[in-house]
Amino acid sequence: MYQWLEVDLGERTKITAVATQGRYGSSDWLISYLLMFSDTGHNWQQYRQEDSIGFFPGNSNADSVVQYKLQQPVVARFLRLIPLDWNPSGRIGLRLETYGCPYTSDVMSLDGSSSLMYRLSPRLRQTSKEVISLKFKTQRNAGILLQAGGQGGLSLSLELERGKLLLLLRQDGTSSSEPQRLVSLGSLLDDQHWHHVVLERQSAHLNLTVDKHTQSVQTPAKFSQWDIEEVGINTLSNYHGCLENLLYNDLNLIELVKNSDHQVTVLGNVTFSCAEPVSVAVTFPGPQSFLQLPGGMASSSGDWSVGFQFRTWNKAGLLLTFDLPQQGGVVWLYLSEARLRLQILKDGRVLLELTAGSGLSDGQWHSVDLISRRGHNSEECRNPFDIFQGCMRRLTMDNQPVDLIKVQQRLLGNYSQLQIDMCGIIDRCSPSRCEHGGRCSQSWTVFHCNCSDSGYSGATCHSSVYEPSCEAYKHNGNTSGHFYIDVDGSGPVKPQLVYCNMTEENTWMVIQHNNTELTRVRPSPGVHQHSVHFDYSSEDEQLLAVISQSEHCEQDLSYHCRMSQGSPFSWWLGGPGSGHLQTYWGGAQPGSQQCACGLQGDCVDPQHYCNCDASRMEWTEDSGLLIHKESLPVRSLVLGDIQRPGSEAAYRVGPLRCHGDRNFWNAAFFDKETSYLHFPTFHGELSADISFLFKTTASSGVFLENLGIKDFIRIELSSSTQVVFSFDVGNGPLEVRVESSVPLNDDRWHRVRAERNVKEASLRLDDLPAATQEAPADGHFHLQLNSQLFIGGTASRQKGFRGCIRSLQLNGVTLDLEERAKITPGVQPGCPGHCSSYGSLCQNQGRCVERANGFHCDCGLSAYTGVFCHTEVSASFRSGTSVSYTFKEPYELMRNSSALPSSIYSDMTLRGENVSLSFRTNQSPALLLYVSSYYREYLALLINNSRRYFDFKLPFSASRSLIKPALCCLISWKWIFFWC
């Protein structure tokens, strides 16, 4: 161990690939190895694939060549290959080839007070797209890297802060102004390695790229017409480090400086080379890592001192220990709760304890200086504290630097499991793998996501904790109320709070806005139009997602008028964004420029298509439902013609109401093992979640499969009681299994939810506990698939699934199984038989009735009502008690019908052919119901000796309408449960 092969390429070279081969005619070959790169032969950097994998698989024999193309080419002069493992029957031996191209560049060095400023000519300012790119390397974690200034005192600034690169917008072009932070990207950029930065600007849209990670930002509108007038670094930048290939739209500014171009101004000490100080760091990567040094020499004052710098992500760990032989004690310097603590112990008793600093586990370099009486290091490492994982540098003893290169060469001290001449710290939270606003934190080896208050769960906050619709909440047994819904599951649309109105017929999602009341508009001097904007409780993308997912949406729109015409003086805006102009009104068709009465032919003035267009002196209205989803929601309303004498108007825009979930019941039935549906390749490189419901009578079958060259993903019913989620992302096949205590082939709906991310894979079945499988800490995490996605079968047409699959979502996107099934032999759209799974939701003897999409509860044989027959409709009567109600005669109702809405009267007269009630009593005889009429007709329902019978004087006929409203009004009073 601890050997390496180092190659000096003579100059900086763009390295694109490496290849290895065993030693000729031997048993010597490498099984795995690391690659290190450096510009100077010091401060090495380990090459990592996918930001995670540090090692390269090597050879399996002495003759075959194994080549790897680097995902990201490396520019370096020196290359080191460090063996990790080799043929156990041989020794370390290899042949090595390095592939690459010549690399030329222009470099300059700045000392913190230097400046370079390039003023653009007017011709260069008139470009539609501007690109600024550069490379930089520095040991300082703060400083202004670049500024781009323009007219109006506006400037863009690239600044280092705590090792991160910030893109700031300044208002007056000076560093003293309070800047607006646009984006933060990168981390640990003070590692004295080259980092590539690209800033692209097109109008007000900016893209910032640091190394291989990009973020986009939309700047304020005033920025869209802003022109860059100068680019460079001013004397206040405080940037210490090197720049390479500073380009503005492919114009090399460093080359212009070398050529003394008049458009470039340079001040201060600028050199065209990159002289970097040699600072040898050492990395403690794991629990077996330690460094042991001999005791230092005492100074003339008799003091003994130690100094060093460290950086870590861990909150605890032992930094240093040594004995005090003269005092007979021991010194411990360690981290605890991210604070530095010093303890001096003797005979197990604490003689002295000091604490300093806070938040020292932030990944930044922190300096420590310790001075004590003379002692020497302990010859053995006794550590009652957590192990230290992190980096150290600038280690001194008695004010003399420790030569760590001698330590590396085994000429000084002793060590184990160290990485010398490099700092192997990794920021696992940059970029953050936590989704949906989850907060990332980390230790030296792993990162964690805090998903609280995000509405999502899982190791990376990927999966929504909410249902996608009110329909889904209903089928979990919920009744009406406010619920959070997440329309696209793990997709980008955030959860939203809606009111779910669970009725017997439909399940409505109700989204309110800021004014659903009838609002009167009165004329105002000098105001010729009244404009009102409606702010909804949901954001625009949430509204549009709800409308798209729903089977039907509607919104009530009413315009009440007196001497106030509607068209063409009034209109409304509806639809996506700020909305499109609409000139039709409730109950009419888009583009018709009509109202409901125009389509029905019953406007108050036949010459007009809207009641309000008649401009009558008395109040009239145009009202109705807007049901065309492309015009919803109503964004704003503009009312004109309100300035004439006597003009008055009022409006009402109801809440947005939608019912039906187009995704929830989307299903397909597979009647053969060889039948399947295929879809485009599933793209879930970093995060993949799959959810669906299934029901079957078969004991096994593959639900889903997608293959790559080596990678794959598959979910299957492996037995009548077990579901298996298996995949391979390059680390070898992994499986997650869930075992059910009851058979799954019972022809009832069962829910499967599988998720795979960079930390773990999980599988849930119904309400059983989730099974998880951790991802390898140092392995691949990109899932690379390239074949078609097979649903209900496999590419080999073996082990196919027989049964129904419903509501299949991949990363929040629902696959339209029904539409694909219509054109696929062996697969039928839809799947009946929901009562076997949901029938238990119907309570109190309610009867489950099948529908094409779902079911409903028939409460006809129970004394209950409601969506699940859960609301009792009854009353308790004691002996001698009763309830009575006196109805008006029919002609009185008709004569005064203008006082009541016509719909109420028509309901009262047209309903009421049959009456039914449920009762329970131990009293006999008893009078259950008695209805008498103005004409001395009566109807009585009695019980005697446990027998019910009717007693009536005259038969009721369709010509008698008095009893009908009486019975119907009894229903609304809910004395006893019965219906018409």
Q: Are residues 656 and 721 in the same domain?
A: no
Nearest in space to 276 (alpha carbons), one of 350, 194, 218, 202: 194
Q: Before 384, cis peptide (omega within 30)?
A: no
Contact between residue 562 and residue 619 where contact means Cβ atoms under 8 Å apart? yes
pLDDT digits (tens, 9 = 90+) for 656-666: 999 989 899 99
Structure tokens at 554: 């509607």
Q: Are residues 792 and 717 in the same domain?
A: yes
Q: Are residues 224 and 112 in the same domain?
A: yes
Q: Are residues 691 and 588 in the same domain?
A: no
Q: What is the CATH number of the domain that holds 49?
A: 2.60.120.260
pLDDT value at 856 more than 60: yes
- Residue for token pair 């004395």: 975
Residue type at position 348 = G
Nearest in space to 230 (alpha carbons), one of 252, 248, 211: 248
Residue 679 lies in a domain: yes
φ, ψ dihedrals at 372, nearest 5°:
-145, 180
- Distance between CA atoms of residues 86 and 20, nearest Å: 13
In this prediction, residue 740 has a pLDDT band, given cuts at 50, 70 and 90, of very high
pLDDT, position 655? 95
pLDDT value at 608 more than 50: yes
- The whole domain housing 805 covers 666-832
902-921: buried (b, 16+ CB within 10 Å) or exposed (e) per residue? eeebebbbeebeebebebee
Q: Are residues 716 and 589 in the same domain?
A: no
In this prediction, residue 890 has a pLDDT band, given cuts at 50, 70 and 90, of very low
pLDDT value at 819 more than 60: yes
pLDDT, position 626? 93
pLDDT digits (tens, 9 = 90+) for 438-496: 999 999 999 999 999 899 999 999 999 999 999 999 988 899 999 999 999 999 999 99
Residue 402 lies in a domain: no
Q: Which of 783, 804, 832 is the last residue of a domain?
A: 832
Q: Which of 199, 233, 267 is the last residue of a domain?
A: 267
Residue 427 lies in a domain: no
In this prediction, residue 777 has a pLDDT band, given cuts at 50, 70 and 90, of confident
Q: Are residues 613 and 685 in the same domain?
A: no
Residue 790 lies in a domain: yes
- Looking at 138-212, which runs of residues are DSSP E strands? 142-150, 155-161, 164-170, 180-185, 195-202, 205-210
- Distance between CA atoms of residues 544 and 467, nearest Å: 17
- In whole angstroms, how large is the CA radius of gyration of the chain? 39
CA geometry: angle at 846 spanning 841 and 852, to 5°?
Answer: 70
DSSP 164-178: EEEEEEESSSSTTS-
Nearest in space to 309 (alpha carbons), one of 193, 404, 383: 404
Residue 367 lies in a domain: no
Residue 861 lies in a domain: no
pLDDT digits (tens, 9 = 90+) for 12-35: 999 999 999 999 999 999 999 999
How far apart are the two ends of the chain, measured CA to CA in Å? Answer: 90
Q: What is the CATH number of the domain that holds 182?
A: 2.60.120.200
Q: Are residues 745 and 821 in the same domain?
A: yes
Q: Are residues 603 and 729 in the same domain?
A: no
| Dihedral (CA of 299, 301, 304, 305) sign | negative
Average predicted confidence (pLDDT) for the chain: 84
pLDDT, position 822? 93
pLDDT value at 1 more than 90: no
Provide the number of structural domains found in the chain: 5
In this prediction, residue 967 has a pLDDT band, given cuts at 50, 70 and 90, of very low
Contacts of 390 (CB under 8 A, 6+ apart): 283, 284, 310, 311, 312, 313, 314, 317, 425, 444
Alpha-carbon distance values, 336 to 46, 179, 307, 341 (Å):
29, 36, 19, 7
In this prediction, residue 816 has a pLDDT band, given cuts at 50, 70 and 90, of very high
Give 75's strand partners: 14
Q: Which of 361, 395, 423 is the last residue of a domain?
A: 361
Q: What is the mean pLDDT of residues 835-851?
A: 87
Q: Are residues 113 and 87 in the same domain?
A: no
Total number of residues shown for the chain: 980
Q: What is the mean pLDDT of residues 70-94?
A: 93
835-872: buried (b, 16+ CB within 10 Å) or exposed (e) per residue? bebbbebbbbebebeeeebbbbbebeebbbbbbbbbee
Residue 804 lies in a domain: yes
CA geometry: angle at 18 spanning 17 and 24, to 5°?
Answer: 150
Give 292's strand partners: 414
Q: Are residues 657 and 545 in the same domain?
A: yes
Q: What is the DSSP letter of 92?
A: S
In this prediction, residue 937 has a pLDDT band, given cuts at 50, 70 and 90, of low
pLDDT digits (tens, 9 = 90+) for 248-287: 988 999 999 888 888 888 888 888 988 887 889 999 998 8
In this prediction, residue 912 has a pLDDT band, given cuts at 50, 70 and 90, of very low
Contact between residue 194 and residue 202 where contact means Cβ atoms under 8 Å apart? no
For 14-18, 46-50, 770-774, which range has the lowest pLDDT when averaged over its residues?
46-50
Alpha-carbon distance values, 854 to 474, 663, 670 (Å):
11, 12, 19
For 658, other C-beta atoms within 10 Å of its C-beta total 28
Residue 796 lies in a domain: yes
Q: Which has more confidence, 923 or 14?
A: 14
Contact between residue 283 and residue 423 where contact means Cβ atoms under 8 Å apart? yes
Contacts of 34 (CB under 8 A, 6+ apart): 46, 47, 54, 55, 56, 81, 82, 84
Q: Which has more confidence, 556 or 381?
A: 556
φ, ψ dihedrals at 151, nearest 5°:
-70, 160
pLDDT value at 868 more than 80: yes
Contacts of 100 (CB under 8 A, 6+ apart): 9, 13, 14, 15, 16, 17, 73
Q: Are residues 657 and 670 in the same domain?
A: no
Q: Are residues 814 and 671 in the same domain?
A: yes
What helix, strand, coil percent values describe the chain, rounded to 5?
Answer: 10, 45, 50
Q: What percent of the chain has pLDDT over 70?
A: 86
Q: What is the DSSP letter of 86?
A: E
Q: What is the DSSP letter of 654?
A: P
